[in-house]
Amino acid sequence: MEDYTFTFLIAKAIHVISILILVVASIILGVRLKKAGAFIMIVGSFLMLILSVADTPIIAYAASQGSENVVKVQGIISIVSGFFYFLFGLGVLVLAFDLIKRQKDTIE
């Protein structure tokens, strides 16, 4: 059996860096625009970052307790991760509607 540790680490690094970019972009938007949508994006992206970093040791611990625990923990992590992505997406949507409304008010 091949060792996929290096491949896993590269994928994890790309994932964490991508989420870090979202956190930074969200913070920039939040500071610049001071809108609820940007704040929701900051919260969602920051929680995604925390979970992305924490999921590997959590899964490793679950693996030490047996393979059934790995499946349970991965399922829970998937649900929580999905909620954090939903939160970020909701922030983008709220911000988009706010910016469209603001632009429309400026035109009129």
Percent of the chain beyond pLDDT 90?
84
**Which pLDDT does position 45 carry in this prediction?**
97
Mean pLDDT of 51-75: 94
**Which pLDDT does position 4 carry in this prediction?**
83
Three-point CA angle 18, 48, 43, nearest 5°: 110
Q: What is the pLDDT of residues 72-105, one digit of tens each?
A: 999 999 999 999 999 999 999 999 999 999 888 7
**The pLDDT of residue 2 is above 80:** no
Token representation of residue 82: 């999905």
pLDDT tier at 46 (50, 70, 90 boundaries)?
Answer: very high
**Which pLDDT does position 1 carry in this prediction?**
54
Residue partners of 59: CB distance under 8 A and separation at least 6: 70, 73, 74, 77
